[in-house]
Structure 1
Amino acid sequence: MRSPREGAERGTPPNGFASFRAHSNRLLNVVLDTLDAAKAEDVAVIDLKGKTSIGDHMVLASGRSQRHVGAVADHIIKKLKDEGYGRARVEGQPQCDWVLIDAGDVIVHVFRPEAREFYNLEKMWSADRPMERLVI
């Protein structure tokens, strides 16, 4: 039997449905706190439960420039490692127009405003229910 900390280090929740939800919510809070600390803008959370099995939450945020997008992504990646969530998969970091960080139960998209408007993931993923908007 593994300890809850061992599961967190591998990016997998400990045994039990309640523990799974607690793990997912804690991961979401780590991401949101890090976005706030990195001064990300227009943060939005989309609940994916019941829509797809790729994760529980999708978080979208904007950076003011390519440099800011890259810095926000770097902060998230470092914080996830520091908190014991293992290695997140990262796409798009060299260009920094749109960086995707797959942390397992939480998928984070950090965009430049123009890229976010062009791809419009909020509309695609929240078509059937209102999006939860967070003001940070």
Structure 2
Amino acid sequence: MPASPAVRPSDPAEAEALHRLVLQSLDDDQAVETVSIPLAGKTSIADHMVIASGRSTRQVASMAQKLSEKIKAECGRIPRIEGLPAADWVLIDAGDVIVHLFRPEVRSFYNLERMWAFGDAPDATVVPSAGQA
């Protein structure tokens, strides 16, 4: 059975380009507290996990839809999306990059950053937004 476009293996340059696209899209859409966690060498599910918040369910849904469209247009991948109807926590699986978008209350409840830090939190990178830079 052929691999779907969302999960096809790619080279490191493609993974990094996808990661930059995700971070730029979230910055453009004014995501809050964006964190990028490198997963390469720790798990085979992806090379990067990006976690960010939106101020409302409407913003979370909008960021997820725009990001999905950009990934499809620029990378030729069709990301899998879960949680869009409620938009409290939306998961976008783009293969090499997994994105979690939350409302702040839901994010603090699940605390994925701590779960995926593997005891070496210095690997996680808080990505400054344009407004913070």
- Taking structure 1 as the reference length, the TM-score comes to 0.85
Query: In structure 2, how many angstroms separate the alpha carbons of the residues matched to 1:85 and 1:48?
Result: 22
Deviation, 1:41, is: 0.8
2:67 to 73, 76, 82: 76
Kept after mapping to 2: 8 A contact 1:13/1:23: no
Query: In structure 2, how many angstroms separate the alpha carbons of the residues matched to 1:10 and 1:122?
Result: 27
2:127 to 122, 126, 134: 134
Q: 1:10-37: CA deviations, max 9, x gaps? A: 34355xxxxx110100000010111011
Query: In structure 1, how many angstroms separate the alpha carbons of the residues matched to 2:67 and 2:113?
Result: 21
Query: In structure 2, how many angstroms separate the alpha carbons of the residues matched to 1:10 and 1:77?
Result: 13
Kept after mapping to 2: 8 A contact 1:101/1:109: yes
2:95 to 76, 93, 104: 104
Q: Does 1:10 align with 2:16?
A: no
* Corresponding residue of 1:57: 48
Question: Within 5 A, what are the aligned runs for 1:35-54?
Answer: 35-54=26-45
SS at match of 2:35: strand
2:108 to 106, 114, 117: 117
Query: In structure 2, how many angstroms separate the alpha carbons of the residues matched to 1:95 and 1:33?
Result: 24
Deviation, 1:84, is: 3.0
Kept after mapping to 1: 8 A contact 2:18/2:75: no
Gaps of 5+ in 1: 1-8, 15-19
Deviation, 1:81, is: 1.1
Query: In structure 1, how many angstroms separate the alpha carbons of the residues matched to 2:112 and 2:76?
Result: 25
% identity of equivalent residues: 49
Query: In structure 2, how many angstroms separate the alpha carbons of the residues matched to 1:110 and 1:82?
Result: 20
Query: In structure 2, how many angstroms separate the alpha carbons of the residues matched to 1:56 and 1:97?
Result: 24
Aligned residue pairs total: 123
* Corresponding residue of 1:32: 23
SS at match of 1:83: helix
**More contact order relative to length (CA 8 Å, sep ≥ 6):** 2
Query: In structure 2, how many angstroms separate the alpha carbons of the residues matched to 1:79 and 1:93?
Result: 16
What RMSD over aligned residues (CA atoms) do the two structures have, in Å?
1.4
